[in-house]
Amino acid sequence: MPSPVVPPVARLVVFDLDGTITRHDTLLPYVAGLLEKRPWQLLRLLRVVPALLAYGLGRIDRGTLKARLLQATLRGRTRAELEAWTAQFVPRLLERGVRADALRAIETHRRSGDVLVLLTASTDLYAPAIAARLEFDETICTGLTWTDDRLDGALATPNRRGAEKARCLEELARRHPGLRTAAYGNDAADLDHLRRVDEPLLVCGSRAARRLARRAGIPSAWWR
Q: Whose CA is closest to 117, among 16, 19, 9?
A: 16
Does 6 fall in a domain? no
Please tell me the predicted confidence (pLDDT) of residue 8: 54
Whole-angstrom distance, CA of residue 70 vs CA of residue 216: 35
Please tell me the predicted confidence (pLDDT) of residue 7: 44
Please tell me the predicted confidence (pLDDT) of residue 5: 38
- 3-state DSSP helix/strand/coil % of the chain, to nearest 5: 45, 20, 35
Pairing of strands 220-221, 199-203: parallel
Give the range of the structural domain holding residue 86, as residue numbers without chain letter: 11-221
Please tell me the predicted confidence (pLDDT) of residue 53: 94
Does 4 fall in a domain? no
Beta strand ranges found along 60-212 (DSSP E)? 115-123, 138-142, 144-147, 150-155, 180-185, 199-203
List Cβ neighbours of 57 (8 Å cut-off, separation of 6 or more): none
Does 173 fall in a domain? yes
| CATH number for position 204 | 3.40.50.1000
List Cβ neighbours of 116 (8 Å cut-off, separation of 6 or more): 13, 15, 106, 109, 110, 135, 136, 137, 138
Does 2 fall in a domain? no
Low-confidence stretches of the chain (pLDDT < 70) are 1-9
**Number of domain units in the chain:** 1
Does 5 fall in a domain? no
Phi then psi for residue 123, to 5 deg, are -90, 165
Q: Whose CA is closest to 31, among 123, 96, 103, 128?
A: 123
Does 199 fall in a domain? yes
Mean pLDDT estimate for the chain: 94
- pTM exceeds cut of 0.85: yes
Give the side-chain half-sphere CA count within 13 A for 151. Answer: 25
